[in-house]
Amino acid sequence: MGRLNVNLCGIEIDNPIIPASGTFGFGYEFAELYDINILGTFSFKGTTKDARFGNPTPRIAECTAGMINAVGLQNPGVEKVISEELPKLSKCFNKPVMANISGFAVPDYAYTCELLDKEAQVGWLEVNVSCPNVHGGGMSFGTSPEAAAEVVKAVKAVTTKPVIVKLSPNVTDIVAIAKACEDAGADGISLINTMLGMRIDLKTRKPVIANKMGGFSGPAIFPVAVRMVYQVAHAVNIPVVGMGGVSSAEDVIEMMLAGATAVEVGAANLINPYACRDIINDLPRAMDKYGIDNLKDIIGGVK
């Protein structure tokens, strides 16, 4: 095993770097730029039961130290992901991939997860509970411990692969939600998803994106992400995948010290498509600088 290896929910990966869902497509697009097998794995584009066109444009805007997006889970639907996207990916990626799943009702999550669970190339199911619950007044499943647990139980009942629950930071007590997911059978927790943000164009006096509000990501949210990863990692006994504003090897080490077993990189991929490759290549230098022999040794190193 190398210095960078970590074990994520029973699956050994070459390094902890994982491009985050929604920033890396279905992988093969980036494979035209570099060999994506350098990655630990990646989380592919959020997939729903049915195809979704997404929100009206404009739906992405830059802002200070980050970006706001409201893409709206645009994807071809789970059947086409299985029949069209995964075969393309298999030609350029020879490792288990993380399937990111979204839904608007509990049966939707279960249906989509059950289908993707059968795919040999899928290693983990990353279940995004930041989606509006259409049967709960539009509030996110991830804002309620009970609602999040209900999703986890439904998914675990129809799957055999590790289920990692992706949590929203737009809550009062993220620890309570993480613990509810663990109690319901989750194999891991990933956090944080984007924060809710808004910007206004002074010339037009209108919001910069058509949806008015959207997910705020980028370096500006990194301190919030580190804090939440630390809180959750010290409250649960399952692996935590940290994300939120990560853009350097030093950021990865900081996330892991806070308690992350693996680290997802999101907005940085949209600024520099080589970001994950560059971080992986730079990790040995950063480890030497801070006297780290093996990344596994520093997980949760800050008490």
115-127 pLDDT, tens digit per residue, is 999 999 999 999 9
Q: Are the CB atoms for 66 and 220 separated by under 8 Å?
A: yes
55 pLDDT band, cuts 50/70/90, is confident
Question: Does position 29 have pLDDT exceeding 70, yes or no?
Answer: yes
Q: How many domains does the chain have?
A: 1
Q: pLDDT value at position 139?
A: 64
The pTM score is: 0.96
223 pLDDT band, cuts 50/70/90, is very high
CA distance 86 to 38: 18
Q: Is residue 1 part of a domain?
A: no
Structure tokens at 19: 């491009």
Q: pLDDT value at position 1?
A: 60
Q: pLDDT value at position 122?
A: 98
Q: pLDDT value at position 233?
A: 98
Runs of H (alpha helix) within the chain: 28-31, 78-80, 86-90, 106-117, 145-156, 174-183, 222-233, 249-258, 267-271, 275-289
The CATH number for 169's domain is 3.20.20.70
CA distance 248 to 168: 23
State whether residue 245 is helix, strand or coil.
coil
Q: Is residue 143 part of a domain?
A: yes
Give me the active site residues, please: 131
CA distance 146 to 163: 17
192 upstream amide cis, omega within 30 of 0: yes
Q: Is residue 60 part of a domain?
A: no
Q: Is residue 225 part of a domain?
A: yes
Q: Is residue 64 part of a domain?
A: no
106 pLDDT band, cuts 50/70/90, is very high
72 pLDDT band, cuts 50/70/90, is confident
Q: Is residue 63 part of a domain?
A: no
Q: Is residue 206 part of a domain?
A: no
Question: Does position 207 have pLDDT exceeding 70, yes or no?
Answer: yes
Percent of the chain with pLDDT over 70: 97
Q: Is residue 61 part of a domain?
A: no
Give mean pLDDT, residues 101-125. Answer: 97
- Range scoring the smallest mean pLDDT among 33-37, 194-198, 293-297: 194-198
Domain residue limits at 182: 6-55+71-196+211-298
Question: Does position 134 have pLDDT exceeding 60, yes or no?
Answer: no
